[in-house]
Structure 1
Amino acid sequence: MRDKALSLLKELTEAHSVPGHEDEVRAIFVDELGETGELSADGNGSVFCDAGGDGPRVLIAGHMDEVGFLVQSITPEGFLRFVTLGGWWTHSLLSQRVEVRTKSGDKILGVVSSMPPHFLSAEKRRQVMPVDQLFIDVGASSRSEVENEFGIALGDPVAPVSAFTAMAKEDRYMAKAFDNRVGMAAAIQTGLVAGETDNRLILSGTVQEEVGLRGSKSAANFIKPDAVVILEGPPADDTPGFPRSECQGQIGAGVQIRMFDSSAIGNPRFAEFAIETAKREGIPHQVTVRRSGGTDAGSFHVANQGIPCVVLGVPARYIHSHNAIIDLNDHLHMVALATALARQLNEKTVGELTSYL
């Protein structure tokens, strides 16, 4: 499982898949799970693998997109203005490499830039540069060169560039897009190892989570699940500035089981079922109540007639940047818990999640 996790994480994190342009991650999902079950996609591009079986429809879902950008305009001198897709902290953008994916599939390397600080007043140097004053430099000399030689057009997707890299400490890895390629890798792995279950197991990669949990809205209507296990790459809170006594997302401390965030109150019975399953299976875990943030549970839990959801996560330092850090063991623990839930969610256990009368 370890070797498969590493190969999947490398391939997925290095893929170019920003909101609305999730093609490369979708292709990996299809390639990995094509023989596991029946493949389908909804009208927005979320992809599904129905592994079959009888009983309640249990969906194991990650989201395919990463935070990124779109080309908004091209200056006469050949610089690209851009809009953000998802939540970017401007501090993390300047001088970072990005790739523009053209309609022909070519990837054009660029760097996020601004007016050099040497030409700014002392006051402006102390301020965070707003996004509308940033641009992407692809090394071109004119708009004509950008359009006609590089093939870049308005609306082309732009993704961060960052290699999947092992760190000095064993099992620590740095890459972009752990939010949410850890979830996608885990969804794929769960589908590969779960085997026969007492439910109808469906694996999924949703689209456009980073821009308002949009893909999960149509995914819920398309698949009509009876229960959803959402796999995520949430922010860690174990770096300087956080009281260690309040840490609920320490890397290396196990899979997160999220009870609450600003998008959803987790189904309490489902959360407790996940916690008890983790204890019984000996899976290291962390229980999390967040003051902010959100996941696809925000859309899934209010879809159709209401769907019980639980959110599992691999804590990652510095998400929504070019260089996030995870502990591989947390990822393996998420796969283990997702697989255990997939095997134990039968007609009785799923029915008890919403038996209120």
Structure 2
Amino acid sequence: MKKKAQSLLQELTEAHAVSGYEEEVREIFVNELTGIGELSADKMGGVYCETGSDGPSIMLAGHMDEVGFRVKHITPGGFLKIVAVGGWWTHTLLSQRVEVKTQSGNKVLGVISSVSPHHLSPAERSKVLDIAHLFIDIGASSQADTIQNFGISLGDPIAPAVPFSALGKPDHYLAKAFDNRVGMACVIQSLQELAQTALPNQLTGVGTVQEEVGLRGASVAARKVQPDVAIILEGPPADDSPGFNPAESQGALGAGVQIRIQDPTALMNPRLVALVERVAQENQIPYQITVRDSGGTDAGNIHKENLGIPSVVLGTPARYIHSHNAMINLNDYLAMVQLSTALVKALDQETVDGLTKYL
């Protein structure tokens, strides 16, 4: 499982899949799960793999998209002005490499730039620049050069250009888009792990679209699958680096899979959370309970569909998400796969019925 996890995470994190342009991750999903179950897609581009035949409907979902940019304007000098897709802190962007994906599928390397500090006043140097003041330099000499020779058009998606890299400490990896390629890898590996298992339910692995711009594909996915239970797989922010209180950490690298029970977008079903904890304990899977007062996941839209869907979020904590370089401990990811597969096996009809038996 570990070797497969490394290769799958590398392929997924190095894919170019800004919100609305998820095709490279969708292609990996299809290639990995062909023969595992019945594949389908929705009209927004979300992708599905359905397996099992009897019992309650269980959805195992991750989002395929990553934060990025799009080309907003091409200057007379051939530089690219950009608009953000998803949440960025511009402090992290200067001098970072990016790739512009053209309509023909070519990828053009560039660097995010701004006015040199030599030409800034002391007051200007102390400010975090707005994205409107940044631009991408691809080495073009004019607007015509950018359009005609580089093939770049307005609206082309832009993603960080970062290789998947092993760090000096065992099982620690650096890459872009762990939010949410860890979730997508977990969907894929979980379905592969369960392929030879007689399940007590109908299981659908899902890759949603456009999570980073408002959980848009999640609503479509919930309506298509109509699950009785949703397990959302994520790459949430870690909180164990300088600037956080170590005594309050709920997302430390190496401490296990996160079980998120609340954020501003969703309160998880308490009975489902209790079941997840029990399954983790019975299988000796390390985990950390998380209550958040910021952020959100696809659970925010999924749990409100179809008269209510019991939902829970499992996550592999990642430092520095929504930047060019995030970091994970692979063992947290493996714990997420183990907990996902064990939880699916536990969700028989009686257990699922008990999650929403209120009268």
TM-score class, shorter-chain normalisation, is over 0.9
Deviations 1:171-214 (A, max 9, x none): 00000000000000000000001122100010010000000111
The yes-or-no answer on 1:85 pairing with 2:58 is no
* Deviation, structure 1 residue 103: 0.8
Q: How many residues align?
A: 357
**AA of the residue aligned to 2:205:** L
Q: Tell me how far apart the structure 2 counterparts of residues 210 and 297 of structure 1 sit (CA, whole Å).
A: 13
Match of 1:237?
239
Deviations 1:62-96 (A, max 9, x none): 00001001111101110001110111011111110
Q: Tell me how far apart the structure 2 counterparts of residues 241 and 103 of structure 1 sit (CA, whole Å).
A: 42
* Deviation, structure 1 residue 223: 1.2
Match of 2:354?
352
* Deviation, structure 1 residue 111: 0.5
* Deviation, structure 1 residue 301: 0.4
Q: Tell me how far apart the structure 1 counterparts of residues 160 and 185 of structure 2 sit (CA, whole Å).
A: 19
Match of 1:255?
257
Match of 1:131?
131
TM-score (normalizing by structure 2):
0.99
Superposed counterparts of 1:1-357, under 5 Å: 1-194=1-194, 195-357=197-359
**AA of the residue aligned to 2:280:** A
Q: Tell me how far apart the structure 2 counterparts of residues 335 and 261 of structure 1 sit (CA, whole Å).
A: 22
* Deviation, structure 1 residue 232: 0.2
Q: Secondary structure at the match of 1:16?
A: coil
**AA of the residue aligned to 1:349:** T
Q: Secondary structure at the match of 1:162?
A: coil
Q: Tell me how far apart the structure 2 counterparts of residues 78 and 233 of structure 1 sit (CA, whole Å).
A: 36
**AA of the residue aligned to 1:215:** G
Q: Tell me how far apart the structure 1 counterparts of residues 43 and 273 of structure 2 sit (CA, whole Å).
A: 31
* Deviation, structure 1 residue 29: 0.1
- 1:234·1:314 contact (CA, 8 Å) conserved in 2? yes
Q: Tell me how far apart the structure 1 counterparts of residues 276 and 175 of structure 2 sit (CA, whole Å).
A: 28
Q: Secondary structure at the match of 2:345?
A: helix
Deviations 1:21-58 (A, max 9, x none): 00000000000001101101111111000013211110
Q: Secondary structure at the match of 1:235?
A: coil
Deviations 1:220-246 (A, max 9, x none): 111111110000000000011111110
- 1:100·1:156 contact (CA, 8 Å) conserved in 2? yes
Q: Secondary structure at the match of 1:256?
A: strand
**AA of the residue aligned to 1:231:** L
Deviations 1:282-309 (A, max 9, x none): 0000000011110000000001211110
**AA of the residue aligned to 1:97:** R
Q: Tell me how far apart the structure 1 counterparts of residues 354 and 116 of structure 2 sit (CA, whole Å).
A: 60
Q: Secondary structure at the match of 1:21?
A: coil
User: Which segments of 5 or more consecutive residues in structure 1 lack a partner in the other structure?
Assistant: none
- 1:53·1:196 contact (CA, 8 Å) conserved in 2? no
* Deviation, structure 1 residue 17: 0.2
Equivalent pairs: percent with the same residue? 59
Deviations 1:227-269 (A, max 9, x none): 1000000000001111111000000000000010011001111
**AA of the residue aligned to 2:322:** H
Q: Secondary structure at the match of 1:81?
A: strand
Q: Secondary structure at the match of 2:59?
A: strand
- 1:75·1:143 contact (CA, 8 Å) conserved in 2? yes
User: Which segments of 5 or more consecutive residues in structure 2 lack a partner in the other structure?
Assistant: none
